[in-house]
Structure 1
Amino acid sequence: MSLGIVLLSATLNLNSHLPPLQLWQGQSEALMQQEGPLTTDFELSGGLESPNYEQTNEFLKRLVASNPTQFQSVKIGVSDQGRDINMLLAVEGSQFSPAMMKNNNKPTLLIQAGIHAGEIDGKDAMFMLLRDIATGKRRDILSKVNILFIPILNVDGHERSSEFNRINQRGPVTMGFRTNAKNLNLNRDYTKLDTPGVRSVLKVINDYAPALYVDVHVTDGADYQYDVTYGFNPSFASESPAISKVLEEQFTPIIDTKLAKSGHIPGPLVFVMDKRDLKKGLAGWVASPRFSNGWGDIKGLPTILVENHSLKPYKQRVLGTYVFIDGVIDALAQQHKALHSAVEAEKQSYPKELVVSRSYSQQPDYIPFKGIKYKSFESALSGHKEVKYLGEPINYEKLPVFWQKEIKTIVQVPEAFYIPPQYADLVDKLKLHGVEVEALPEGTSLAGLTQLTVDNHSFANSPFEGRFRVDATFKSNLLNEEVSLSGWTKVSTKQAYSELVTHLLHPVAPDSFFAWGDFHSIFQRTEYVENYALEPYARKMLKESPKLALAFDKKIREDKKFAKSDKQRLEWLYEKTPYYDKAYLKYPILMSYTGQ
C-alpha cells in the first residue's frame, strides 16, 4: 500500500466529523510534480502532508545547492527552545545583501508562513514555487521581484505536531500548534514584542525594507465556497488609506483574476457575526496593531493577510496559495511604483488626532457572498440551536456586513513623547519597530510638558498572551515648572511612523505598552504612613490651611461612604501632605503638544 493511500485513509477518518465537501478540480493541480528534481514532501504525499522542521531545513539546503547564485538561506533568529528561525532569499545574480537588494530596481516581497504553525499552507506552496524558479520553469519571477521567505516562523509550535491539533481543519494529516513554546500567539505580539519570532521579523523588515509583506494563515469559522480569502484594513478605516486604495484598486483585480483562472474562488477577508446563523451578517474586521496586518497598516508597510478556508482540503489550499503568491508577484511587478508613491505619501502624513479603537457599525453594508447551505437544529448536547452545513452552494445576492466603522476612541497626537532612562527597554523596542529616537544630552530641561495621571483603572481578571492587561482613564496635568530631561529619550511624532509612535506610547491606545502592562509598577506604593504620625501632622496641616480644612469638611458632608471610612479619610489627608508619593499613578512618559 502506498504512502499516499495510507495518508488519504487516515485523513478521511480524521475528517469524518466535518461538513461534506464540494468536489474540486482546478488547473492549478498541474503545478504538482510526482518526480524529478526538488519534488517536495507535500507532493510526494499526494498533497496530504507537510514536512517537519528537520525535513523543511533539508529542503532549504537542497534549494540553495541547486542554484546558489539565486538562493541563500540565513538564520534570522532563535526560538525559545533553541531552534533556528530561517529565511530564504531568492534574488538574481547573488545580490543577497540588504543594500544590494534595495538598489537592484526590483521590489522586495516578504512572505511569511507558519506564524500559527498549524496553518502551514504557505510553506508548501512557496517550496513548490521556489522549486519552479530553481528548475527554470518560472525563470520570469526573479526578473520581476526579490523574494524573502520565512517557511516557519513559529518553529517551536511547528514541532508540537499532532493529528489532533485542529478539529475544524482539513489537513495536513499532522500539523503544528497555534502558539509557541511559551503558549504565546505570535500574531498578537506585533506591539509588545515578547516573542523571538516577531522580533526576528521586525529586524528583517528594518534591514531589507520590503515593498510588500504577506502573512499566510488558515481561517476558522463558517463554511463557504471561497478557498482563498485575503485582505487588509479597508481604506475607509485605514491609517494608511493611500496604500489601501492601491491594494484595493490595483492589486486585488490582478490577484483575483489569476486565482479564478486556475479554478480557485477568491473571497473577502470577513468573518461571521454569529457562527450559528450566517444570515445575521458578516463581521468586517479592522485589525489593530497587535496583528501583522494591523501593525503594517499603522506603520505604512503594505501588508496582506491571507486566510485560506480551513474546511477545504490541504492540497486545494496549498495550490491556491501558490496561485495567490504568483498573482501578488504579478501585481507587485506591475504596480510597485504606485505602491511606493502611496508609501512615501503616508510617510509625510502627521495627523493631529488618531483613532485608536473602533467598534462595529449599527448599520450594515451589503455584499454578494458565496455561501454554503445550512440548517439549524436543537442540540441535546449544548442545549442550544446549532448549525449543520449541508455541502451545497448558495449564493447570497445581498448579505449584511458590519464593518468596524464606528470610532470608539480618539487621542490628540503630541508633538513628542519623552521617555525616562529607567525605561530604556522600551526605547530598544521602539528601535526594533523602526521608530526614530533621540537621546537627549545632559543639561536638557523643558517646561510646559504634560503628564497623565491614572484616574480610574481595572486589571484583566485573567492573563492574555502572558500579560495582565490594564484599562484606564486619565487626568491631564500641565507641568509649568521645568523638568530635567538629562538621559531621557525624545520620540517625535513628526516622523515616517508617526501613527505607530502614538499607538505604542499613548496609554489610552489599546495596544500601547501601557495597556499591555509595561507600567504596572506605577500602581503600587512602597512608602507607607503610620496613623500615629499622620493624625497629628494632618491636624496641624488643617489648622494652618483653612482652605484645606473647608475642603475636608465638605467631603465629609457630601460623601457618606467617605465619612464612615477611617481609611478613606486618612488616605485623603495623606495625599495632601508633602510625604505622599508623587509618582504614584503617574504615567512616567511625558508629552509635549504644539503651542504649549
Structure 2
Amino acid sequence: MLVTLLSLILQINPITPPPGNWLTPYEKSYGKKTATYKECISYYQALDNAFEELKLIEYGATDSGKPLHVAVVSMDKDFNPTSVRRKNKRVILIQNGIHPGEPEGIDASMMLARDYLQKKEGRALLKEVVLVFIPIYNVDGALNRNSYSRANQDGPESFGFRGNARNLDLNRDYIKNDSRNAQTFTVLFQEWQPDIFVDTHTSNGADYQHTMTLIATQKDKLQAPLREYLTSQLLPQLYGNMQKQQLPMCPYVDSKGETPDSGLIGFLETPRYSTGYTTLFNTIGFVTETHMLKPFANRVQAQYHFLDVLIRIVQKDAAKIAAARQQSVKEMLSQKQFPLTWQLDTTVVDTLTFLGYEAKHKPSEVSGLSRLYYDRQAPFSKKINYYNTYRATLSVAKPVAYVVPQAWEEVIDRLRLNRVKMRQLRRDTSLTAEVYYITDYKTSTRSYEGHYLHSGGQVRSEKQRLNYFAGDYIVPTNQPAARFLVETLEPQATDSYFNWGFFDEILQQKEYFSNYVFEDIAAQLLQQDANLKKQLQEFITKNPEAAKNAQAQLDFVYRHSPYYEKSHLRYPVTRIVNKTF
C-alpha cells in the first residue's frame, strides 16, 4: 500500500522504497515531511551500524554547539582522505541543508546513501568514487524549525531557517569564515579535496515548468582543462541524462529583465559562495536549485535523480576528471596573471530551450495596481538568450610571495584553515617589498553578514624597505593555494579580506596636528623645500576652493611632510616580487 501511494504521489520516475525498516521520514510521510536534525543523524547512525561501507564522523563544531556530521560511503571501507586520494579515487562532496528551509537534498541524500549501499548496481557504481555527505550543514538553522519562513514555497509541512545561530547566511561565509560551521567546512574540504562539489538548494523567483535548475561553476573562472571538460562533456551529459529522467533542466533562472523570456544571466559566484570558494582549488562545483512552487515530493525526487546521474558520470569519467584536474593545477602554478574582478560580456549570447509560462499583468487585489503573474494555463517552450561569458576587468601579476605581519591574527588563522604553506621569520629582518596604499574605496552603509563591506578600491604601489619581526609570515605563491591567496590578499579582489573589513584599522589616522602650532612648522617646510611649495600651488590651482581653506592647505603640507604617519592607509600585506623563498 505504501509503495502504491508513493508512486501515485511522485509524478517523476518514482523511487521504489526499500523493504524492512529503512524508510526515511520523508517516505513514511508519503512525501510531505522532511527529516528533522535528530531523525536525519539517527538515520545515518543506523546506516553506519548496518553497513561497514558507511562511516558517520563528527567532524567539528558548529555555532549551535552541535557537531557537524559527515557520512562517508567508501566501498573498500577506506575512510581516510589521504589514503583515498593516494588510490586515485574521485571524491564527490555533497552538502545539504546550508539553508534548511530548502531541505530536498537532506532527504534525497538519505535515500541515495541507503540505495547505493543496498543495491548491487549502486555498489558497482562506486568502484572509483567515494561519496562524502554533509547530512545537514546549517545544524543551527535546522534546529530552528518552523512552517512559515519560506512564504513562496510548496511544502514540506515544516522546515528549518536560513540563518544560523548567529543569524549568518552560511552561503556568504566561505571566504570570511566567521562561523564555526564555515571553519569546520574549510577543514573538511581541505582534507578531502573533492573533485566535484554539490550544494543542494531550492530556488526563489519566477514561475516556470522546470523542476530543477542548475548553477555550474562559472566556466570562465576555471582553468582551461577543467573548463573544457565541464562545458563539452560533463554538462551535456548531465542535461541529457536528466532529460531522459523526464526532468529537463535549465540554468538557474536569473532573468536579464523582469521575466525569464528576456534572457537568463549566468551566475557569477565570488568566493563568498560555496562554489566560488571551491573553484579557487580547482574543484568543479554545482548548486542545484529545485523550483519552489513544485510539490515537495517532486523536488526531492529531482535532487535524488540529479545526484544519481552525476555519480554515474563521475564513475564513468573518473580518469578524465583526474587528468583535467591535475593539468589545471599545473597550469595554475605556472600562471603569472590572476583576475580579481569580472564583468558580464553581453555581446556573447548563447541560446537555450526554456519551458516557461506566459507572464501577464492584472490588477492587484491588495493595492489595486498592476501586478505580475504567470499563467499556468499558457505554458510555452521557446528559445531564449543566455548570457554566460564573463571578462576579467582587473588582473594582477602574482608575486613571488606575500608577507603577512603576525599582528593580523584573524587573517593568519584563515590561511592556516586553508592549509596555506607559510614560514615564519626566525629573526628581525629588513626586506624590500611592493607596498600598496589605499587611495579610494566605498563602504556599504548597511551591515552585510556582520561586516560593512568595502568595494571599488583603488591602490597605488611603491617599493619600500620595511622592517619585519621574528614571527612574521612569508607566504610563497608557488603552491596549490595560489589563487586563494591572490583573491584574499589582493585588496581589490571582490571578496578580499580587505573588502570584508579585516584590515580596517589602517583606515584610521592615529596622529594629527594643532593648527596654531603646525602653522610655523609648515611655513618653515615651504621655505626649505621649493618642490613642496610648488606642489602646494598646483594643489590650489586644481582645487580652487582650497585657496580659501587654510585647513586644507595645512593638511596638504602635513601629508607631504615627514610628520605624516607612513602607516596611514598603507596595506599591511606586502608583495615580494623579485626574491625566491
Q: TM-score w.r.t. structure 2 length?
A: 0.92
Match of 2:104 among 110, 114, 121: 121
Is 1:567 matched up with 2:544? no
Structure 2 stretches of 5 or more lacking a match?
none
Aligned residue for 1:509?
A: 493
Residue aligned with 2:15, SS:
helix
For residue 488 of structure 1, what is the aligned residue in structure 2?
A: 472
In structure 1, C-alpha distance between the alignment counterparts of 2:114 and 2:419, rounded to whole Å: 33
Deviation at 1:214, TM superposition (A): 1.2
Q: Give the partner amino acid of 2:414.
A: K
**Kindly, what percent of the aligned residue pairs are identical?**
27
Query: Alpha-carbon deviations, 1:41-86, whole Å to 9, x = none?
Result: 000011111121112221122111112x112111122222212211
Q: Which amino acid aligns with 1:71?
A: L
Q: Which residue of 1 aligns with 2:205?
A: 221
Corresponding residue of 1:439: 424
Contact 1:508 1:515 in 2 (8 A): yes
The residue correspondences of 1:122-521 to structure 2 (distance < 5 A) are 122-136=105-119, 138-235=122-219, 237-274=220-257, 276-349=258-331, 350-363=334-347, 364-379=349-364, 381=366, 385-392=370-377, 394-447=379-432, 449-481=433-465, 483-484=467-468, 486-521=470-505
Counterpart Cα distance in 2 of 1:98 and 1:469 = 36
SS of structure 2 residue aligned to 1:139: helix
Which residue type is aligned with residue 264 of structure 2?
A: L
Aligned partner (choices 532, 544, 562) of residue 578 of structure 1: 562
Structure 1 residues 406, 98: CA separation in 2 closer, same or farther (over 3 Å shift)? closer
Cα distance between partner residues in 2 of 1:539 and 1:422: 38
Equivalent in 520, 527, 530 of residue 514 of structure 2:
530
* Residues 162-207 of structure 1 deviation map (CA, whole Å, 9 limit, x = unaligned): 1101111112111111121212111111211112222212211221
Distance 1:361 1:477 in 2: 29
3-state SS, counterpart of residue 422 of structure 1? coil
Distance 2:286 2:394 in 1: 25
Distance in 2 of aligned mates of 1:391 and 1:173: 24
Letter matched to residue 85 of structure 2: K
Q: Is the 8 A contact 1:258 1:323 kept in 2?
A: no
What letter is aligned with 1:415? V
Q: Provide the rounded CA distance (Å) in 2 between the counterparts of 1:335 and 1:382.
A: 55
Of 80, 85, 92, the match for 1:97: 80
Q: Distance in 2 between matches of 1:93 and 1:554?
A: 75
The separation in 2 between residues aligned to 1:509 and 1:399, in whole angstroms, is 32
How many angstroms apart in 2 are the aligned matches of 1:439 and 1:570?
A: 42
Q: How far is 1:404 from its partner?
A: 4.9
The aligned residue for residue 68 of structure 2 is: 85
Structure 1 residue 460 displacement after superposition: 0.8
Amino acid corresponding to residue 309 of structure 1 in structure 2: H
- Residue 25 of structure 1 corresponds to which residue in structure 2? 11
User: Contact 1:141/1:329 (CA < 8 Å) preserved in 2?
Assistant: yes
* Paired residue secondary structure (2:355): strand
Cα distance in 2 for partners of 1:409, 1:477 equals 15
- Pair 1:93–1:408, CA change in 2 (3 A): closer
> Per-residue deviation at 1:594?
5.2
Change (3 A) 1:499 1:560: same
Give the conservation status (yes or no) of the 8 Å contact 2:410–2:502.
no
Partner AA of 2:410 in structure 1: D
CA contact (8 A) 2:203 2:292 kept: yes
Give the stretch that moved more between structures: 280-289 or 363-372.
363-372
Q: Does 1:556 align with 2:540?
A: yes
Matches of 1:310 and 1:414, distance apart in 2: 46
Residue type at the aligned position of 1:438: R
Query: Does the CA-based 8 Å contact 2:72-2:132 persist in structure 1?
Result: yes
Moved more, 479-488 or 543-552: 479-488
| Residues 240 and 298, structure 1, Cα contact 8 Å, conserved in 2 | no
CA change 1:241–1:197 in 2 (3 A) is: farther
2:295 corresponds to which letter in structure 1?
P
CA offset at residue 146 of structure 1?
1.3
The answer to which of 188-197 and 491-500 deviates more is: 491-500
User: CA distance change for structure 1 residues 405 and 474 in 2, over 3 Å: closer, same or farther?
Assistant: closer
TM-score relative to the length of structure 1: 0.90
Secondary structure of the corresponding residue to residue 110 of structure 1: strand
What secondary structure sits across from 2:280 in the alignment? Answer: helix
Is the Cα contact below 8 Å between 2:215 and 2:267 reproduced in 1? no
Please say if residues 354 and 413 of structure 1, whose CA atoms lie closer than 8 Å, have aligned partners that are also in contact: yes
Q: Distance in 2 between matches of 1:473 and 1:257?
A: 43
CA distance in 2, matches of 1:143, 1:553: 76
Deviation of the 1:356 alpha carbon: 2.1
> How far apart, CA to CA, are the structure 2 residues paired with 1:260 and 1:549?
74
For 1:44-123, list aligned pairs within 5 A: 44-67=28-51, 69-123=52-106
Q: Which moved more, 1:57-66 or 1:570-579?
A: 570-579
Matched letter for residue 561 of structure 1: E
Whole-Å separation in 2 of the counterparts to 1:377 and 1:402: 30
| Gapped regions of structure 1 (runs ≥ 5) | 6-22
Deviation at 1:244, TM superposition (A): 2.7
Equivalent position amino acid for 1:414 in 2 = P
1:284 CA drift (Å): 1.6
Q: How far does residue 595 in structure 1 lie from its aligned partner after superposition?
A: 9.3
How far residue 378 of structure 1 moved from its aligned partner, in angstroms, is: 4.3
How far, CA to CA, are the matches of 1:251 and 1:31 in structure 2? 27
Of residues 342-351 and 119-128 in structure 1, the stretch that sits farther from structure 2 once superposed is: 342-351
- Cα distance in structure 2, aligned partners of 1:456 and 1:30: 57
Q: Please give the alpha-carbon distance, in whole angstroms, between the structure 1 residues aligned to 2:92 and 2:159.
A: 26
Amino acid in the other structure paired with 1:296: T
SS of residue in 2 equivalent to 1:92: coil
Quote the offset at 1:380 in angstroms: 6.5
Farther off after superposition, 379-388 or 580-589: 379-388
Query: Structure 1 CA distance, aligned partners of 2:378 and 2:242?
Result: 19
Q: Which amino acid aligns with 2:384?
A: L
2:322 is paired with a residue whose SS is: helix
The amino acid that maps onto 1:294 is G
Q: Which of the numbers 569, 572, 578 marks the counterpart of 1:588?
A: 572
In the alignment, the residues of structure 1 paired with residue 12 and residue 267 of structure 2 have an alpha-carbon distance, to the nearest angstrom, of 30
Deviations 1:530-586 (A, max 9, x none): 223212222222222233233324433442222222332222222233222110011
